[in-house]
Amino acid sequence: MLPLGEIARIVGGRLTGDPDRIPVGVIHDSRLVREGDLFVALPGERTDGHLFVADALSRGACGAIVSRPLPGGTLIVVEETLTALQALARAWRERLTSTIIAITGSNGKTTTRDLLSHILAAKMRVYSSPENYNTEVGLPIALLGMKKTDEIGVFELATGSPGDIPLLAGILRPDGAVITGVGPSHLGSFGSIEAVAEEKWSLAASLKEGSLLVVNADSVYLRSRIGKEAIAVGIEHGDTRGRVLQEVPRLIVEVPSPRIVLDSPLLGAHNATNLLLATVTALRLGIPIGTIIERAATFSLREHRLRPIGARFGTILDDTYNANPASTLAAIRVLSRFGGEGSKRIFVFGEMLDLGEDSPRYHRKVVEEALRLGIDRIYPVGDRPTAASRESGTDRAVYSRPEDLVRTLSNELSGPDDVVLVKGSRALALERIVDRLRSL
pLDDT of residue 256: 83
- pLDDT single digits (tens) 196-243: 999 999 999 999 999 999 999 999 999 989 988 999 999 999 989 999
Of 269, 260, 270, nearest in space to 294 by CA: 260
257 confidence band (pLDDT: 50, 70, 90): confident
pLDDT of residue 171: 98
**pTM of structure:** 0.91
Q: How confident is the prediction for the chain on average, in pLDDT?
A: 94
pLDDT of residue 128: 97
pLDDT of residue 131: 81
Q: For residues 282 and 119, is the Cβ–Cβ distance under 8 A? A: yes
Return the CATH class of domain 96-297: alpha beta
76 confidence band (pLDDT: 50, 70, 90): very high
Of 336, 345, 268, nearest in space to 314 by CA: 345
Query: 421 burial class (0-12, 13-18, 19+ CB within 10 angstroms)?
Result: buried
71 confidence band (pLDDT: 50, 70, 90): confident
Taking domain 307-438, whether its CATH number is 1.10.645.10 is answered by no
Largest CA distance in the chain: 70
Put the strands of the sheet holding 212-216 in their side by side order: 126-128, 152-156, 99-104, 176-179, 212-216, 231-234, 240-241
The total of other beta-carbon atoms located within 10 Å of residue 302's CB is: 14
Domain positions in the chain are 4-80, 96-297, 307-438
**Average pLDDT score over residue span 134-144:** 97
d(CA 211, CA 241): 21
Of 99, 207, 214, nearest in space to 153 by CA: 99
d(CA 18, CA 72): 13
pLDDT of residue 16: 94
Of 186, 221, 112, nearest in space to 426 by CA: 186
- pLDDT single digits (tens) 17-60: 999 999 999 999 999 999 999 999 999 878 899 999 999 999 99
> Which residues fall within 8 angstroms of residue 61, CB to CB, at 6 or more apart?
27, 30, 33, 36, 37, 38, 39, 73
Q: Which CATH number is associated with domain 4-80?
A: 3.40.1390.10
187 confidence band (pLDDT: 50, 70, 90): confident
HEC-encoded secondary structure of the chain: CCCHHHHHHHHCCEEECCCCCCCCEEECCHHHCCCCEEEECCECCCCEHHHHHHHHHHCCCCEEEECCCCCCCCEEECCCHHHHHHHHHHHHHHHCCCEEEEEECCCCHHHHHHHHHHHHCCCCCEEECCCCCCCCCHHHHHHHCCCCCCCEEEEECCCCCCCHHHHHHHHHCCCEEEECCCCCCCHHHHCCHHHHHHHHHHHHHCCCCCCEEEEECCCHHHHCCCCCCCEEEECCCCCEECEEEECCCCEEEEEECCEEEEEECCCCHHHHHHHHHHHHHHHHCCCCHHHHHHHHHCCCCCCCCCEEEEECCEEEEEECCCCCHHHHHHHHHHHHHCCCCCCCEEEEEECCCCCHHHHHHHHHHHHHHHHHCCCCEEEEECHHHHHHHHHHCCCCECCCCHHHHHHHHHCCCCCCCEEEEEECCHHHCCHHHHHHHHCC
pLDDT of residue 341: 84
**Average pLDDT score over residue span 83-96:** 98
d(CA 27, CA 55): 13
**Average pLDDT score over residue span 61-81:** 94
